[in-house]
Amino acid sequence: MKRLAVLLSGRGSNFIKIYENIKSGVIKNAEIVLVISNKQDAPGLAYARQAGLNAIYLNPKDYPDREEYDRAIVDLLKREKIDLVCLAGYMRIITKFFVESFPNRIINIHPSLLPAFPGLDAQKQALEYGVKYTGCTVHFVDEKVDHGAIILQEVVEVLDDDSVETLSARILQKEHIVYSKAIDLIVNDKIYIDGRTVKFKKV
Ligand code: GRF
């Protein structure tokens, strides 16, 4: 059984979907053993507590700098023997120290087809640019923001009358499917990284 940690800052809908998909067997061979939030009032954290998970709030203001904060997180992750760290709406850029502590074992979901529209407000960026298709990307986390090797992507068509809200909602539906698929592939050892390309292992 692979031990997962989820880091979040807000709503937590991706986390909840992963949690449900583990329970229902869509994701096999995994359990969420730790949820960490940098926001005390994150609804995702409240959900995790109600679900009886080990859910921890770490206040960034209690640490002198970003690296010390990440050292505290890495300590928790190591203590819990975490195999895979899933960032799910975690609104902090993680340090080199953190990335190097879990090489190719940190993944993130981003609401665009990377490398298009990295950073904040990806759905708004896509609308303003006028693309006809956008989507979401699950990728390994490296030292650059929204940059690591791509695991899976899903395409979403942009409609003429889309607002940021309607487009975001359709992308989110795909996020909820693709993030669990990516986790299942990793924990069941179905993929490997070749350069910066993620490939399927041949059976
Ligand atoms: C999602 O759109 C995700 O792609 C982005 O932040 C949002 C988090 O939503 N990284 P939720 O907290 O999982 O509901």
Ligand 1 test: best mutation among 11, 13, 14, most atoms within 8 Å of CB? 14
Domain boundary among 69, 102, 135: 102
Domain boundary among 102, 123, 150: 102
Same domain, 113 and 66: no
CB atoms within 10 A of CB 32: 21
Domain count, the chain: 2
Q: Is the per-residue pLDDT at 145 higher than 80?
A: yes
In single-letter form, the type of residue at position 134 comes to T
Same domain, 160 and 191: yes
Q: Is residue 176 a contact partner of residue 17, using CB atoms and an 8 Å limit?
A: yes
Q: Is the per-residue pLDDT at 128 higher than 90?
A: yes
Q: What residue numbers bound the domain in which 167 lies?
A: 108-203
pLDDT in tens, 5-52: 999 999 999 999 999 999 999 999 999 999 999 999 999 999 999 999
pTM of the predicted structure, to 2 decimals: 0.97
Domain boundary among 85, 102, 119: 102
Sequence-distant (≥ 6) Cβ neighbours of residue 87 within 8 angstroms: 6, 7, 8, 94, 106, 107, 108, 109, 141
Q: Is the per-residue pLDDT at 203 higher than 80?
A: no
User: Phi and psi for 182 in degrees, rounded to 5?
Assistant: -65, -45
Ligand 1 test: best mutation among 175, 177, 180, 183, most atoms within 8 Å of CB? 175
Which residues are known catalytic residues? 110
In single-letter form, the type of residue at position 156 comes to V
Q: Is residue 55 a contact partner of residue 49, using CB atoms and an 8 Å limit?
A: yes
